[in-house]
Chains A and B, each alone.
Chain A
Amino acid sequence: MRSSRFFGSGGVSCDDVADALPAIVDGLEVAAIEVQRHVAACLRCQAELVQYRKVLRTLHQLRTEVLEPTPGLLPDILAALEAAGERRAIHHLLNGRRVAYVGGIAAATAAGAAGAILASRARRKVRLAS
């Protein structure tokens, strides 16, 4: 914990500024005007801000580092994907068969009903004719 001594100028302490520095270091957030004034006049806080920038710059540099995956990772991933793909294909197939089965039953039922209606009409015509 740093001391709450005042460096620089104005009524803002180094402690107050210390809380703001991690937020403003990337430039996306703007510090309050009192904080800006304090940093402009306080060598200690300026030094701390420089340290934050170094940390941030180094973190950005890590982005270009790509670690070598452990041996066998790619085959493992591809095997898992293949298994998942097969499961999905089987699922689709079963669903497709189920649809065809239900469709067949529906078609047969409809055909039966149509046949019954036609037969009943034919019987009625015969009765009327006689």
Chain B
Amino acid sequence: MVIPSEEARLVAAAKAGDSDAFAELVRNTQGDVYTLAYRLTGNEDDARDVAQEAYLRAFRSLKRFRGDARFSTWMYRITANCASTHLSRRSKGRHEELSDDDNVLDERPESDPETMAEAGVLRDRVTAALADLPPILRAVVVLRDVYDLPHDAIASELGITESAAKVRLHRARRKLRERLFPMPGEEKARAV
């Protein structure tokens, strides 16, 4: 892992108490952090809250950042942890169902999936399908398949075991595949 020298310099300065250096790190990573927060929470307001909380937490624990990974990767882990806390707090307040067996709404266009599989269209459909996944499945598949975090890091930040993280990942992939490319029989089963 090669850390760009400018980033290493900013991290070292921020750790030494230079608040301008930390502000620069925020400027450089806020788009990525916000995007991840949005993908995990599914709405702008929650994404803002999670991003802000993530940077506050990073600021408080900066001395513990060893610098052997990219600052952005460290921020992804913190963001995932904040989003998990945020969503569980919110679901307690609103009595939302956290079950990972929720059915994903089928909003497929009428046309043949194969012909709709042009990259942009498929990306939009995957984004929509992701947003419809139950939060506990969405978190795992976003962190693993979009942001490439290892299973142990995902498990640690979400407060679950590594094997639970894998089970959720496989379930999430299956739900996405069923939503985007339903096999004969799957549509009927979902409708029941």
Binding site for B on A (CB under 8 A): 1-3, 18, 21-23, 25-26, 44, 48, 51-52, 54-56, 58-63, 65-70, 73-74, 76-78, 80-82, 84-85
Contacts and interface: CB of A to CB of B under 8 A. Distances in A.
A1 B185 contact: yes
B123 to A, nearest CB: 6
A51 B182 CA distance: 10
B145 interface: yes
A67 B34 contact: yes
B74 interface: no
A77 B30 contact: yes
Contacts, number: 113
Contacts of B181: 48, 51, 54-55
How many B residues touch the partner, as a band? Answer: 35 or more
Interface of B: 19, 22-23, 26-27, 30-32, 34-35, 38-39, 44, 47-48, 51-52, 55-56, 59-60, 117, 119, 122-123, 126-127, 141, 145-148, 166, 169-171, 173-174, 176-177, 180-181, 183, 185-186, 189
Contact of A80 (B31, B44, B52, B180): B52
Given A73-B48, A81-B55, A84-B56, A59 B141 contact: yes
B120 to A, nearest CB: 10
